Chain A
């Protein structure tokens, strides 16, 4: 009973917020609706017992990606007239994407009605429901059977990260702004920077 109520609650909000994400006129509102979608999708994940995935969904998508997204959206100067200008030109592309998505949806529903794929172990036997927590089960798989794929994914991410750093790295030109020397800043003491003067009345101070 409660599970049903909770499921429909989360599911309705996910669908509603997803619709609002693409319907909202203001891009910032879109991002906020998107965050609501992620958050409620995490709720659905909790309901199917995948609490680890749910937490990762919130940490990764809501926490990191969406914050960066919000940054970009808020920093951009949004010109609604310019955004609408390309509407007619982009209609065919939009329709094509919509057609592909619709076909995929129909295919998925059709395949499901024809009988879903039964997950099984490599030797053909049905998968046993593990008696361990999510994290342990995932960890055993990722660091056991799929260790190679996991490491490859890690290396690819590392390369991407280094690439991003190299792209933004600019060698400092001579005559550009002086680089900060943090050690020098920390070593600075009041005696080096200030002098005590006790001038006569009416006299200036020579520094």
Chain B
């Protein structure tokens, strides 16, 4: 895209800036559109599992439901509680939303289709997702209300706990790939399993790590069964309780953007990203982005499915799973993976 802006007579650095800004706008709009669509999918899947119809009034098959909801929320009044800390109260949803979008900068949608192809892509995602907790904590504190505060405490403890095991899982993947660059990780997966399966997940050392990663990504995005931050029966609506109108919508959109991000990370790190499932020439005629979106969608479906079927965890169970099960297990697998790779001479 830089070349296009250079042809308009801009110097290289300004053309690069313009191209990057254009890329940011395109990716943000696409992610927002995808979020609107997956919210619809989420509600349809939930409806189908509960033997309801789900949204079916606005537009054909209810496809425009999310946009109607968006418009409704947009027209509502923004209420700021008088006891709230106004600046932080308004900043919190903005931070959640911005952080959720910022992480998409390093996600490769297809070979070479990535905004920032940086060497530390995976670390960037970790850094950005560790920022995500601030939106929640700030919202909980600034609301000056008991339930949001409890929820913020829960959310921060939960996110920190599961980030630890996610970190170790990522170390295992990086040991195999030898790079932090997400495109590089995907390229390393070409023909990884038995010479024809394009996925890391088929390896016996990486399959358990994928399971850990998938469950941790549920916890990291506070989805059921780990949605203790918004446990309706205990905390009203959690940290969003005092929010209304667009400030509420920003939390909502940010949450779904994060869920999509986690689904795409599952795809990129373990299931071959934009590569077709098998390293077989005819499958490469399908564009890479189709494979990427298809795989991401399958993971999103699994998220919805889990939401509809499993009961919520208790808080002590959540902490036990994170610290006493996943952390030792992923640590063990880091040692096992590096030992195995040394033994077969992977690093030589």
Query: Could you list which residues of chain A lie within 8 angstroms of chain B, going by C-beta atoms?
Result: 1-2, 28-29, 32, 35, 39, 42, 51-52, 55-56, 58-59, 62-64, 67, 70-71, 74, 133-135, 180, 182
- Give the nearest-CB partner of A39 in chain B: B131
Bound together, the chains give a CA A122 to CA B258 distance in angstroms of 48
- Give the nearest-CB partner of A26 in chain B: B85
The reply to whether A32 and B130 form a contact with Cβ atoms under 8 Å apart is no
The residue among B118, B119, B127, B163 with the most chain A CB atoms within 10 A of its own CB is B127
Bound together, the chains give a CA A84 to CA B18 distance in angstroms of 51
Bound together, the chains give a CA A71 to CA B320 distance in angstroms of 20
Query: Could you list which residues of chain B lie within 8 angstroms of chain A, going by C-beta atoms?
Result: 13-14, 17, 88, 118-120, 123-124, 126-128, 130-131, 133-134, 137-138, 141, 149, 153, 156, 160, 163, 180, 316, 320
* 16 more CB-based (< 8 A) A-B contacts, given A59-B123, A64-B130, A71-B156: A1-B13, A2-B14, A28-B88, A28-B141, A42-B127, A51-B118, A51-B119, A51-B120, A55-B120, A55-B124, A58-B127, A63-B163, A67-B160, A70-B137, A74-B137, A135-B180
Of A39, A70, A134, the contact of B120 (CB 8 Å cutoff):
A134
Bound together, the chains give a CA A39 to CA B128 distance in angstroms of 10
- Give the nearest-CB partner of B149 in chain A: A74
The reply to whether B120 and A52 form a contact with Cβ atoms under 8 Å apart is yes
Bound together, the chains give a CA A99 to CA B320 distance in angstroms of 49
The reply to whether B138 and A32 form a contact with Cβ atoms under 8 Å apart is yes
The reply to whether A55 and B13 form a contact with Cβ atoms under 8 Å apart is no
Chain B residue numbers with a CB within 8 Å of A35 are: 134
CB proximity of A8 to chain B, nearest CB, Å: 16
Chain B residue numbers with a CB within 8 Å of A39 are: 131
Main secondary structure of the interface of A (DSSP, over half): helix
Q: How many A-B residue pairs have CB under 8 A?
A: 64
Bound together, the chains give a CA A71 to CA B130 distance in angstroms of 15
The reply to whether A55 and B160 form a contact with Cβ atoms under 8 Å apart is no
- Give the nearest-CB partner of B131 in chain A: A62
Selected A-B contacts with CB under 8 Å, 15 pairs? A2-B14, A28-B88, A28-B141, A55-B127, A63-B126, A63-B127, A63-B133, A67-B137, A67-B160, A74-B141, A133-B119, A134-B119, A135-B119, A135-B180, A182-B320
CB proximity of A137 to chain B, nearest CB, Å: 11
Of B88, B123, B133, B156, the contact of A32 (CB 8 Å cutoff):
B88
Bound together, the chains give a CA A135 to CA B184 distance in angstroms of 14
Chain B residue numbers with a CB within 8 Å of A70 are: 137, 156
- Give the nearest-CB partner of B321 in chain A: A182
Chain A residue numbers with a CB within 8 Å of B138 are: 32
Chain A residue numbers with a CB within 8 Å of B124 are: 55
Chain A residue numbers with a CB within 8 Å of B320 are: 182
Of A58, A133, A182, the contact of B130 (CB 8 Å cutoff):
A58
CB proximity of A29 to chain B, nearest CB, Å: 8
- Give the nearest-CB partner of A58 in chain B: B127
CB proximity of B28 to chain A, nearest CB, Å: 20
Chain A residue numbers with a CB within 8 Å of B316 are: 180
- Give the nearest-CB partner of A71 in chain B: B156
The reply to whether A59 and B126 form a contact with Cβ atoms under 8 Å apart is yes
Chain A residue numbers with a CB within 8 Å of B119 are: 51-52, 133-135
- Give the nearest-CB partner of A56 in chain B: B123
- Give the nearest-CB partner of B180 in chain A: A135
CB proximity of B309 to chain A, nearest CB, Å: 17
Kindly list the 8 A-B residue pairs having the minimum CB-CB distance in the complex, ordered from nearest.
A63-B130, A58-B127, A55-B123, A133-B119, A59-B127, A55-B120, A55-B127, A51-B120
The reply to whether B137 and A2 form a contact with Cβ atoms under 8 Å apart is no
Chain A residue numbers with a CB within 8 Å of B118 are: 51
Chain A residue numbers with a CB within 8 Å of B133 are: 63, 67
Bound together, the chains give a CA A1 to CA B128 distance in angstroms of 27
The residue among B119, B153, B160 with the most chain A CB atoms within 10 A of its own CB is B119
The reply to whether B131 and A58 form a contact with Cβ atoms under 8 Å apart is yes
Chain A residue numbers with a CB within 8 Å of B141 are: 28, 74
CB proximity of A9 to chain B, nearest CB, Å: 13
CB proximity of A166 to chain B, nearest CB, Å: 17
Bound together, the chains give a CA A28 to CA B138 distance in angstroms of 9
Bound together, the chains give a CA A2 to CA B18 distance in angstroms of 12
The residue among A56, A59, A70, A135 with the most chain B CB atoms within 10 A of its own CB is A59
CB proximity of A157 to chain B, nearest CB, Å: 15
The reply to whether A67 and B127 form a contact with Cβ atoms under 8 Å apart is no
CB proximity of A153 to chain B, nearest CB, Å: 18
The reply to whether B127 and A62 form a contact with Cβ atoms under 8 Å apart is yes
Bound together, the chains give a CA A58 to CA B138 distance in angstroms of 18
CB proximity of A16 to chain B, nearest CB, Å: 16
Bound together, the chains give a CA A29 to CA B88 distance in angstroms of 9
Chain B residue numbers with a CB within 8 Å of A182 are: 320
CB proximity of A186 to chain B, nearest CB, Å: 10
Of A2, A29, A67, A134, the contact of B17 (CB 8 Å cutoff):
A2
- Give the nearest-CB partner of A29 in chain B: B88
The residue among A35, A55, A56, A134 with the most chain B CB atoms within 10 A of its own CB is A55
